[in-house]
Structure 1
Amino acid sequence: MRRARNMRPNIVSEAGFPTRMSQWWESIPFLTSAVVVVCGVIYLICLLVGYDSFYEVCFLPSAVVSRFQVYRIYTSILFHGSLLHVVFNMMALVPLGSELERIMGSVRLLYVIILVATSNAIFHVLIALLVAHNPLLTYDYLMNECAIGFSGVLFSMIVIETSLSGVQSRSVFGLFNVPAKWYAFFLLVVFQLLMQNVSLLGHLCGILSGFAYTYGLFNFLIPGTSFYSSIESSSWFSSCVRRPKFIVCTGGNPSGYIPTHTSQNSTTSGLLSGNVWRNLSSFMPQREVSAQSTEDSRFPGRGRTLGAVQGQTASHLHSDSNLQARLLEDSSPNSPLDSSTPSNPQRLSEGRHSVDNVATAAAGVPQNQGAAVSEEGIRKLVSMGFDRTQVEVALAAADGDLNVAVEILMSQQG
């Protein structure tokens, strides 16, 4: 037997570095990759032309206050002082920005970046003025500190992402774990000790802006979904929306976008509604809870009470078994529901209505309330790409539990 000399290489395991870099770059969402490109191009231009003073573009509190040079708020976050500075900041931005952009959407994340950059500058100026003009000890250095870099916004994003993730602890460079509410402060201390020429006030103001956002103090500055929808549907923005990496921010649960303590149905902000002091009872914010439902948005579905009486448990099991038997009967090939033709739509609608009634009775809630809950779950699952009819049947079979319904739908597709 002759041995083959030229064997086809394993394309998956032997992919070259350019291919893997291309795949990595394509996995980064639109806005995050755009920020990386803008900051990188600006640094290369400064390097080529020999511009390294940055005095005209950095954030200088004395210039902002005396000459009202507000543009420094936004130019300072785009310029970087060295190659390591821009590389480290962009490497930190890619995972943070990608995660937040997939949750919020591209336009919403852009608005949040502008919001936290502005609030960082306001906190920076206020603290610098307080330190420089207090009656006890004056210190003018902060007013004349020239700060550049995207790291202030990164610290705000760290606080926001930590709040959205809901984790209890975070690892610091894989060395040790710290409570999630102190994670940003630990990073602040570590960077201040390990690196020179690091703006302590700039990073601290980023942390303060992140907590102000998560506690709902900026709710009165955050527009509704229609604002982002109008931007995405505008003609001048259509070329960006058509990009494959662009993430639309419409739809979904607002608690995933704005992690505040206030209710979703409230029209006032956390700052104006008088809930600030109540919000400060817990250091880290929790996700929003709708006034119509007390379930956690991270774990949808109807909870069962532990220690229930045996007769009640037996009735629930009996109703669940009846529901499953009814669904199997309705979904069988010989059932009247499946054998109904388009010429008899009333019979088909009556069959579906009976399944909804059985599912509502099994849930142990009134029919109107069960319909509202199922309609909300249907919208969530349909937005994930499932067919509406299959979603209705899966939700009825899962007793309104979205997690179980998703497993049913995935098993049907598999």
Structure 2
Amino acid sequence: MPSLPQFNPLRIRSYVLRLPLATRLMMAAIVGLWAATIPLPWLRAWASLDPDKIGLATMHRFNTFPLMHINFFHMIFNVIALTPLLERFESEFGTLVTLALFTGPFGLLPGGLYYLLETFVLRGNTTVMGASVWVFLLLSSEAMKTYKANPNFSIGPYKIPTWTTPLILVLVVSFLVPNVSLLGHLCGAGIGFLWGLGYIRFLVPHEKILRWIESKLNLLGRLPHYVSVDQKTYGRYGVLPTAAGLGNMPRSPEPGQRLGP
């Protein structure tokens, strides 16, 4: 009889300790804001995306609503779902790109799209908050990559396009979980599809600018768990330390060759 997988806190601790920098910061911000609402409950109304309260002085809502949550369970489920997706994104694109996108366009674009549809199309005023908008954004981005390698998956006699997986999940969550925003999740998924297709990659600062910032501030040397934007040259976590006295050892004929994933 096969044994069931056992809960191993050491493996969870090891995984958490290996998380890259931007993922750590975003998770800390989510948990910290939830904790801050205990003594300061007005923070929830200040950070949520309330269409009727959007104006020039309240544009911060587009970037704060994914960080704010209704209660502990809402927060913890989103943290569990978002962490592996965000860690994978940061490992691919680097810490600077992750921070630039998730503190800017990846909040503004789905939030702005939700505001326009909710206000001018549906004529409603439903307040939304929560990192699930980022979960579906990243799931949609991953689905487009999977679609290129495996366009379809089969359920019985039916072949279903792989890119539709996040949309199916959006519908399932809307049916099973009460008080979730179907429109908000669809807005997040829509921006994720645009990113996966490459239509909004121009939002990322040029690599030369990012390399200059990294070298000027010596981010690789100063910040632990920092992921370099220039992974082809420096690897995932920057330049590996080298020992002195290796001058006579044979070298690779291909300078700058990357080791590992």
When normalised by structure 2's length, the TM-score is 0.77
Taking a change above 3 Å as real, the CA distance of residues 169 and 120 of structure 1, as seen in their structure-2 partners, is same
CA contact under 8 A between 2:97 and 2:204: conserved in structure 1? Answer: no
| Corresponding position: 1:124 with 2:114 | yes
2:70 and 2:152 mapped to 1: Cα distance? 29
Q: Which amino acid aligns with 1:154?
A: V
Q: 2:259 aligns with which of 380, 384, 393?
A: 384
Q: SS of the counterpart of 1:183?
A: helix
Taking a change above 3 Å as real, the CA distance of residues 109 and 178 of structure 1, as seen in their structure-2 partners, is farther
Cα offset for 1:162?
2.5
1:72 and 1:41 mapped to 2: Cα distance? 17
Q: Which amino acid aligns with 1:184?
A: P
Cα offset for 1:81?
0.7
Q: 1:46 aligns with which of 29, 34, 37?
A: 37
> Which one has more relative contact order, counting CA pairs under 8 Å at least 6 apart?
2
2:221 and 2:172 mapped to 1: Cα distance? 39
2:74 and 2:30 mapped to 1: Cα distance? 11
2:24 match: 33
Q: 2:14 aligns with which of 14, 20, 23?
A: 23
CA contact under 8 A between 1:170 and 1:179: conserved in structure 2? Answer: yes
Q: 2:123 aligns with which of 140, 150, 170?
A: 140
CA contact under 8 A between 2:19 and 2:87: conserved in structure 1? Answer: yes
**CA deviation map 1:92-140 (0-9, x unaligned):** 1121111111111111122232322111122112212331xxxxxxx43
1:122 and 1:31 mapped to 2: Cα distance? 23
2:241 match: none
Q: Which amino acid aligns with 1:33?
A: R
CA contact under 8 A between 1:104 and 1:249: conserved in structure 2? Answer: yes
Taking a change above 3 Å as real, the CA distance of residues 157 and 189 of structure 1, as seen in their structure-2 partners, is same
CA contact under 8 A between 1:241 and 1:248: conserved in structure 2? Answer: no
2:87 match: 98
Q: SS of the counterpart of 1:54?
A: helix
1:272 match: none
Q: 1:189 aligns with which of 168, 171, 180?
A: 171
Taking a change above 3 Å as real, the CA distance of residues 22 and 251 of structure 1, as seen in their structure-2 partners, is closer
| Corresponding position: 1:203 with 2:197 | no
Cα offset for 1:77?
1.3
**CA deviation map 1:162-187 (0-9, x unaligned):** 3334452799xxxxx95321011011
| Corresponding position: 1:62 with 2:62 | no
Q: Which amino acid aligns with 1:86?
A: M
2:9 and 2:204 mapped to 1: Cα distance? 40
Cα offset for 1:85?
0.8
The number of equivalent residue pairs is 231
**CA deviation map 1:222-257 (0-9, x unaligned):** 32111221332343x73x75334211111439xxxx
Cα offset for 1:151?
1.1
In the TM superposition, what are the counterparts of 1:158-177 in structure 2 within 5 Å? 158-165=139-146, 166-168=148-150
**CA deviation map 1:45-93 (0-9, x unaligned):** 212x15167222211122225x551100111111111111111111111
CA contact under 8 A between 2:194 and 2:200: conserved in structure 1? Answer: yes
1:275 match: none
Cα offset for 1:197?
1.3
| Corresponding position: 1:225 with 2:100 | no
Q: Which amino acid aligns with 1:197?
A: N
| Corresponding position: 1:112 with 2:101 | yes
Q: 1:213 aligns with which of 190, 195, 204?
A: 195
1:371 match: none
Q: 1:79 aligns with which of 51, 68, 71?
A: 68
Taking a change above 3 Å as real, the CA distance of residues 25 and 220 of structure 1, as seen in their structure-2 partners, is closer
Consecutive unaligned residues in structure 1, runs of 5 or more: 1-15, 132-138, 172-176, 254-341, 343-374, 386-405, 407-414
Consecutive unaligned residues in structure 2, runs of 5 or more: 1-6, 154-158, 234-247
Taking a change above 3 Å as real, the CA distance of residues 19 and 146 of structure 1, as seen in their structure-2 partners, is same
Q: SS of the counterpart of 2:202?
A: helix
Cα offset for 1:158?
1.0
Cα offset for 1:219?
3.6
1:219 and 1:40 mapped to 2: Cα distance? 29
In the TM superposition, what are the counterparts of 1:238-253 in structure 2 within 5 Å? 238=219, 242-252=222-232
